[in-house]
Homo-oligomer: A and B are copies of this chain.
Amino acid sequence: MKKASERKRNTYHVGNLRVLLLSAAREMLEEVGPTKLSVRAVSDKVGVSCTAAYHHFANRTELVGCLAAKGFDELATVLAEQDRGTPKEEKIRTASLAYFSFARKNPALYQLMFGPEFSDSEMISELQSSRREAFGELKRIVAEYLDKDAQTAEVRGAALAGWSHTHGLASLVIHNVVRPPAEITDERFVDMSLEGFRSIFAG
């Protein structure tokens, strides 16, 4: 009596549709772009009706917000990994590089994380805490670099500055506003910009 859909669905209730949707979404994200990721397409890919998704996520924003949250977690991890064993003086450079490299490897995800999608709505506490933790990692690194306590105003300012700079650089490149010369590696490019800042403060 299965007049229902023609989809092959061995398991009717998957049980963990949520994670299936999320990983399908993550897979499609880089192909499709941050704005064009649709609930329907994701559901289709999993082999489920699109309204099924609305039983696990309040709306598209929440789905995509979880993706962004995972992005921040991943970013924090990468930063921590790359920082491990780095000598003090190199910490800022290494972190900047890891950050920039992460952004270049996952442009759509990065655009999502810092895009206009969540600027108004304060919901998705998961996203907010993941963000906070990623920034925390940054502050930790800067604190060690400066040999100061992480709660210091100086550390906070320096972390803000470093984050702004690297995020700005990544954002400009990802959005094709600035195009780094083809013959130059990401590493060189980040160094160029850091050097640029140094020369601003030299005078």
Contacts and interface: CB of A to CB of B under 8 A. Distances in A.
Interface of A: 33-35, 89, 92, 111, 114-120, 122, 131, 135, 142, 145-146, 154, 156-169, 171-172, 174-178, 192-201, 203
A27 to B, nearest CB: 19
Given A157-B196, A192-B157, A172 B163 contact: yes
B115 A160 contact: no
A144 B53 CA distance: 56
A192 B118 contact: no
A9 to B, nearest CB: 34
Given A168-B165, A169-B168, A158 B116 contact: no
B197 A158 contact: yes
Nearest to A199: B158
Contact of A168 (B131, B163, B198, B203): B163
Given A164-B169, A197-B161, A199-B146, A116 B111 contact: yes
A142 B199 CA distance: 11
